[in-house]
């Protein structure tokens, strides 16, 4: 049985259908890289799963329980955590204080401020530093750590490496590997689809709100993903 199931989900921004009839499943401990160009609908899909955007139709199931109508707060308690695009930390609070705020909403489990900092030791010497004084990579690592202390069953990360320098991207991916090795179930969005796919068990590629490619990352070549990413699949030579 899948842990998270998306069934024929459609989500709109006004009259614009940002997500169009998408279906896929995420198994316990599985990592899916959700890739696609800007405007493909990836962020809207993650927000819909997290309860921050109400879908127009379709269903979201966690452990085969329909949670489509549940609030974002309820979904955190159920075990769904979102690391949003832009991190959205409390910049005037320290790293430790950001984690404590999240811990106060935890559903309980092995993760707390101390165990999370032990797992991500790069943040330990920064725990008393204000989040606004951190580098981009350190902020993203803090945002992942903040989600972790809620003890999620499913972790959603939107635009993991957006706006980060290459060295910061390396730092964030190393952080994420620690989380994955612990058995976290993860749905990851990143513009660097090659890097994201290298970390994932499966890849789902979106184009104009639809899923246009899905498969095991080990079986999908870069060219195949690139063609789906840019909507080139199925076009003949010389076609626009």
Residue 174 lies in a domain: yes
How far apart are the C-alpha atoms of 74 and 71, rounded to whole Å? 5
Domain count, the chain: 1
Summary mean pLDDT of the chain: 90
Q: Is 195 a residue whose pLDDT tops 80? A: yes
Asked whether residue 140 carries a pLDDT value surpassing 80, the answer given is: yes
- Report residue 233's pLDDT band, with 50, 70 and 90 as the boundaries: low
Whether the per-residue pLDDT at 237 is higher than 60: the answer is no
Tell me the whole-structure pTM to 2 decimals.
Answer: 0.89
What is the mean predicted confidence (pLDDT) over 83-93? 87
- Confidence (pLDDT) at 1: 67
In a domain, 223, yes or no: yes
Give residue 239's pLDDT.
41
144 lies in a domain? no
What pLDDT score was predicted for residue 234?
53
**Whole domain around residue 43: which residue ranges?**
4-83+152-229
In terms of Cβ atoms closer than 10 Å to its own Cβ (0-12, 13-18, 19+), residue 65 is exposed
> Per the domain annotation, does 95 fall within a domain?
no
- The CATH number that applies at residue 189 is 3.40.50.300
Separation CA 167–CA 152 (nearest Å): 27
């Amino acid at each position: 049985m899948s842990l998270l199931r998306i069934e024929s989900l459609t989500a709109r921004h006004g009259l614009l259908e940002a997500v169009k009839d998408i279906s896929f499943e995420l198994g316990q401990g599985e990592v899916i890289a959700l890739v696609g160009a800007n405007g493909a609908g990836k962020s809207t899909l993650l927000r819909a799963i997290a309860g921050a955007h109400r879908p127009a139709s379709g269903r979201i199931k966690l452990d085969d329980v329909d949670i489509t109508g549940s609030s974002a707060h309820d979904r955190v308690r159920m075990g769904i955590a979102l690391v949003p695009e832009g991190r959205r930390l409390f910049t005037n609070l320290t790293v430790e204080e950001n984690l404590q705020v999240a811990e106060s909403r935890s559903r309980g489990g092995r993760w707390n401020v101390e165990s999370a900092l032990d797992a991500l030791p790069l943040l330990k010497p920064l725990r008393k530093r204000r989040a606004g004084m951190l580098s981009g990579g350190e902020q993203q690592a803090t945002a992942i750590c903040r989600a972790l202390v809620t003890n999620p069953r499913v972790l959603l990360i939107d635009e993991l490496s957006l706006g980060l320098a290459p060295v910061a991207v390396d730092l964030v991916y190393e952080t994420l590997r620690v989380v994955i090795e612990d058995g976290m179930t993860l749905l990851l969005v990143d513009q660097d689809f090659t890097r994201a796919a290298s970390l994932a068990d499966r890849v789902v590629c979106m184009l104009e709100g639809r899923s246009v490619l899905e498969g095991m990352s080990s079986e999908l070549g870069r060219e195949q993903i690139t063609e789906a990413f840019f909507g080139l699949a199925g076009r003949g030579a010389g076609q626009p």
